[in-house]
C-alpha cells in the first residue's frame, strides 16, 4: 500500500491536506484510505497536544505507537496517510524503512507555512485544539524540514496555504513508480531451516538478556554482547526491549531472514530505535 507522510510545524494545515488527499483517492480512484492520526493516538494514550510534548518519554511512546500502527496497517490494497508533525528526520527514515520492508511506494507532503502565520492559525482554533506558546515554539525550534535530496523524504511535495495540492502528481508518484527496493536490513531471504522460529526467539531473547545483565552491572552505553561480537549503542529498559523485540519478531516472521543474520539485524534494529 502506498504510504504518504505529512510533515510540518504545528498548525500548518496538515490535517486539511490529509482530508483532501483522502477524498481524492477515495472519490477519484475508488481506493480505501486509512489515516494514522498523531493526536488521536496521543489522546488514546492519555495525552493532549501539549502534555504529549511535555516530556521526551511521552513523545517516544507515541512515536512507537505510530510506527506500530503503520506496520500493522500497511497492505497492498489501501493508501495509508500518516497525519502528524513527523518533525524528526529519524522518524521519517523509519517510515522509509517500513516502505522498503513491505515493498511499496512512498512520498512526503510538506506543509510549508511561516511561523507567525501558523501561530495566528493556532490562536484561531478552539481552546482544546491549541498549542501553548511554549509548546509551539519548542516544536518549531526542533523541527527538521524535509529535504528532497534525502531518499527518505523523496519524492517531496511542498505546499503553502495558497497552493492547490498536486493530487495528480502525488498519485503518479505512488502508483506509476517502482516500489522501493529492500536492502540488507529488510530483504526477505529464503530460509530452509525448519527450526527458524525457535532460533529467532532464542537468539533475540539471548541478546535482550545480555543487555539487561549489562544494565545490572551498571553498563548503559556501548554494551558488548559476548558471543556475538556486536555492540548495542545505548541501553534500553526492559519495557522498551520487550516492545522492540516483539516488533522485530513480527518483521522476521513475515519476512524470513537467514538465521546467521538474526543477531546483526536485531542489534541494528535496536540501535536505530534508540
Question: For residue range 44-58, what is the model confidence (pLDDT) as tens digits?
Answer: 999 999 999 988 899
Is the full-model pTM beyond 0.85? no
Q: Give the C-alpha separation, 125 to 37, whole Å.
A: 18
State the residue for C-alpha cell 498536486.
166
Q: What is the pLDDT of residue 74?
A: 85
The pLDDT assigned to 180 comes to 67
Confidence of residue 163 (pLDDT cuts 50, 70, 90): very high
Q: pLDDT band for position 228 (50/70/90)?
A: confident
- Report whether 257 contacts 189 (CB < 8 A): yes
Split at pLDDT 50, 70, 90, the class of 66 is very high
Question: Among 117, 133, 128, 269, which residue's Cα sits nearest to residue 203?
Answer: 269
Residue 168: pLDDT over 90: yes
pLDDT score of 191 more than 80: no
C-alpha cell at 130: 491549541
Q: How many CB atoms lie within 10 A of CB 59?
A: 19
Alpha helices in the chain (DSSP H): 14-29, 38-44, 56-73, 89-101, 115-123, 133-142, 167-175, 196-216, 238-254, 262-273
Q: For residue 137, what pLDDT band results from cuts at 50, 70 and 90?
A: very high
> What pLDDT sits at residue 192?
42
What pLDDT does 268 receive?
86
Domains of the chain, start order: 3-175 (3.40.50.300), 196-273 (no CATH)
Q: How far apart are CA 63 and CA 48, in angstroms?
A: 15
Amino acid at each position: 500500500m502506498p504510504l504518504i507522510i505529512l510533515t510540518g510545524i504545528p498548525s500548518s494545515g496538515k490535517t486539511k491536506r490529509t482530508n483532501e488527499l483522502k477524498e481524492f483517492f477515495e472519490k477519484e480512484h475508488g481506493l480505501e484510505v486509512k489515516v494514522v492520526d498523531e493526536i488521536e493516538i496521543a489522546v488514546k494514550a492519555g495525552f493532549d497536544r501539549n502534555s504529549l510534548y511535555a516530556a521526551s518519554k511521552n513523545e517516544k511512546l507515541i512515536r512507537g505507537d505510530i510506527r506500530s500502527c503503520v506496520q500493522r496497517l500497511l497492505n497492498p490494497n489501501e493508501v495509508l496517510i500518516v497525519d502528524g508533525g513527523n518533525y524528526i528526520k529519524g522518524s521519517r527514515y523509519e517510515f522509509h524503512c517500513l516502505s522498503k520492508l513491505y515493498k511499496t511506494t512512498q512520498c512526503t507532503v510538506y506543509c510549508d507555512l511561516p511561523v507567525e502565520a501558523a501561530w495566528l492559525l493556532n490562536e484561531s482554533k478552539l481552546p482544546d485544539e491549541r498549542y501553548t506558546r511554549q509548546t509551539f515554539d519548542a516544536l518549531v525550534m526542533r523541527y527538521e524540514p524535509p529535504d528532497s535530496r534525502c531518499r527518505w523524504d523523496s519524492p517531496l511535495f511542498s505546499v503553502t496555504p495558497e497552493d492547490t495540492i498536486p493530487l495528480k502528481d502525488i498519485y503518479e508518484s505512488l502508483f506509476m513508480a517502482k516500489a522501493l527496493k529492500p536492502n540488507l536490513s529488510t530483504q526477505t531471504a529464503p530460509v530452509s531451516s525448519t527450526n527458524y522460529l525457535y532460533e529467532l526467539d532464542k537468539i533475540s531473547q539471548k541478546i535482550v538478556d545480555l543487555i539487561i545483565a549489562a544494565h545490572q552491572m551498571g553498563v548503559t552505553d556501548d554494551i558488548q554482547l559476548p558471543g556475538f561480537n556486536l555492540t548495542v549503542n545505548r541501553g534500553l529498559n526492559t519495557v522498551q526491549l520487550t516492545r522492540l523485540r516483539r516488533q522485530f519478531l513480527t518483521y522476521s516472521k513475515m519476512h524470513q531472514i537467514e538465521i546467521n543474520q538474526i543477531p546483526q539485524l536485531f542489534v541494528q534494529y535496536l540501535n536505530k530505535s534508540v
